[in-house]
Every structure is written in C-alpha cells, then in structure tokens.
A = this chain, B = another copy of it.
C-alpha cells in the first residue's frame, strides 16, 4: 500500500444510508453501508469524528411522515444523535480535540454547523452523556417533574420502564419520593426493575389481565403516567388513573414499527372528563433554557450513586441497523448506543 492509498483511505467515510423505506417492520436490509469521501467543513462548520451514536426508537418513526424533520427517503444518511470529536474546525469557539454532541448521523465522520452542536467537557465516561447526562436523562427529568408534576407520595407509572428513558424516569420518581410502578415486556425486565432498580411493582404489558394487574398495582389509581408507548397500553392506563391524574406523553413506540394507519385511542375524551385527567405532550426543547439546571441535579445524583446509568454499548458502526431493529423489538435494557471510535 503506497502513501497515496493510505491517504485516500483515511479520507474516506463509511456511512449507513437508507436503502429502502420499510413496508412494515424495520429490518437491517432497509439500510446500506456505503463509503463516501470524508466531507470538508465550510465556514462556520467543523469536521467531527463520530465516537458514540445513540440508538433511538424515534429513528423508525422518522420514516413514517414529516415531523420535526423531513421523512427519511432512500439515499439519506441515517440521522442520529451522537457524540463526536472535532478533527478540523472553521468555527470560532470549537477546536480540534473538543468533544461535542449533536445530530451527526450513522457514519464515521460528519460535518456540522457549530451552532447546532453542544460542547461537552466530560468529567465522566462518555456513554453517560448519551444516557443520564444527555437528551435521555433530561427528557426523563423535565418530563416527570415538570410536565408530569410528580410530587412526593404520589404513584407514578412508567411504560417501557426498562428502556432508556423509562429506567431513568422510574429512578427519578423514587428519588422524588413517589411510589413507582413499571410496565415492561418480559419477566427478566420485571425482575431487573424490582430487584436492581427498586421499583415498587412491575407489570408485563403482554399479560392478558393487564387491566387488573394495573388496578392492583395502583389501588387508588395512578397520579402520574409517563407514557413512552402509546396505543393499547395508553388506552388501558386511562382507566387506571386516579382523579386529577396527569398523563405525560413522551413517545409512542408501539406505533412506530409499522406502516399501518395509526390506531385511535379510545377513552379520549371520556376518561379525561370523568376523572379530570390531564394529558400533556412535550418536546425536550420546551425546557431548553433550563437544561443546565437539570444537568446539575442529574450530575449530582450520578456522582453520589443515587442514579444508576443503564447503558448498552455495542461496538462498531456496522452494528447500528441491527441495534435499532433489536431495540424496536424490546431487546435492550436501558440506553443502547454504538461505539464507532475511541476518544483520541
């Protein structure tokens, strides 16, 4: 191998692109691993080496329709929130070696506008910044305490309780003095949540007597339901709420991995009226001015061991599609991410 060919190799950029839009459930064959030239930063931009990619169920929903981003089409580099390290900078305030987070996508290198990146000055292992100290932790924190207004002594129910957000919601609820009931999809997760994370009760959404199981787990009705799943579980929970209860709508993962028309939720507005319930959807960006304040609390809880980060770090960019497919099938415990490269 000559010097020139080595140079060319290091100028290359492997990236996962959308091959086809899924017809129904997502599979790894909907993606194709391609090699492109490593891009050059324009003025105001930086070139990053991608270190850790967050794997999120929302990635499947991005195929369904235009939302806060345009619906994905064949040829698109698969987007994804990630942590990267600046390799070259044409942006004031960011220098080579800096660690940043932002939507860098499923690839080895990315250029991004400096204004769209957040600089991280890591004092803890990098994966923490995609779990408790990142979007996931902030979503759990503001969603539960602000959108849901959980107060000491209340009963909080959380679905996808063993997932990235749910496992943090449940832990924060306990720290806030609440009784915590989890909903998850397997006996292993049920055991983990009660034995390791200290949930007060955990029910399985596949249980044919889910309705009764929830009633006996919440004898006076739930005060707060943090909903990550939507669909039938949301419908059943509407009937398990106590008077004046609050439902926080954070996600609807049960509705993502399909091209079928959206299913309506029965009980809206019936239960809302009869029980004086509030349902509140939110986007994390609603709380942008207070990210810093939230992160300080999360850092303290992490430092003193109050919060246990649940992280699954899979090795290698090539794992990304299967990692997402598995996540949609509930294979993960906590926050799933892909390590693409080590911090230099």
Contacts and interface: CB of A to CB of B under 8 A. Distances in A.
Q: How many of these chains are in the complex?
A: 2
A271 interface: yes
A34 B265 CA distance: 42
Nearest to A244: B286
A282 B276 CA distance: 4
Interface in A31-75: 67-68
A191 interface: no
A300 interface: no
A252 B278 contact: no
Interface in A262-302: 262-283, 286
A281 B273 CA distance: 4
B279 A278 contact: yes
A84 interface: no
A249 B273 contact: yes
A272 B262 contact: no
A251 interface: yes
A342 B274 CA distance: 35
Contact of A280 (B249, B262, B278, B283): B278
Contact of A277 (B251, B252, B267, B281): B281
Contact of A262 (B68, B270, B281): B270
Contacts of A281: 269, 271-278
A271 B274 CA distance: 22
A337 interface: no
A216 B280 CA distance: 26
Given A67-B274, A264-B264, A269 B252 contact: yes
Contact of A283 (B68, B261, B267, B276): B276
A100 to B, nearest CB: 26
A323 interface: no
Contact of A266 (B249, B263, B269, B283): B263
A338 interface: no
Contacts of A266: 261-265
A255 B266 CA distance: 11
- Which of A68, A250, A265, A286 has the largest count of B CB atoms less than 10 A from its CB? A265
A272 B265 contact: no
Interface of A: 67-68, 227, 230, 234-235, 244, 249-252, 255, 261-283, 286
Given A67-B274, A265-B265, 13 more contacts: A230-B268, A250-B273, A252-B273, A261-B266, A263-B264, A264-B265, A264-B266, A265-B268, A265-B269, A268-B279, A276-B282, A276-B283, A278-B278
Among all A-B residue pairs, the 6 with the closest Cβ atoms: A264-B264, A272-B281, A249-B269, A273-B281, A265-B268, A279-B279
27 contacts: A67-B274, A227-B269, A235-B264, A244-B286, A249-B268, A249-B273, A251-B273, A262-B266, A262-B267, A262-B270, A263-B264, A264-B265, A265-B269, A268-B268, A268-B279, A271-B281, A272-B280, A273-B283, A275-B281, A276-B281, A276-B282, A277-B280, A278-B278, A278-B280, A278-B281, A279-B279, A279-B280
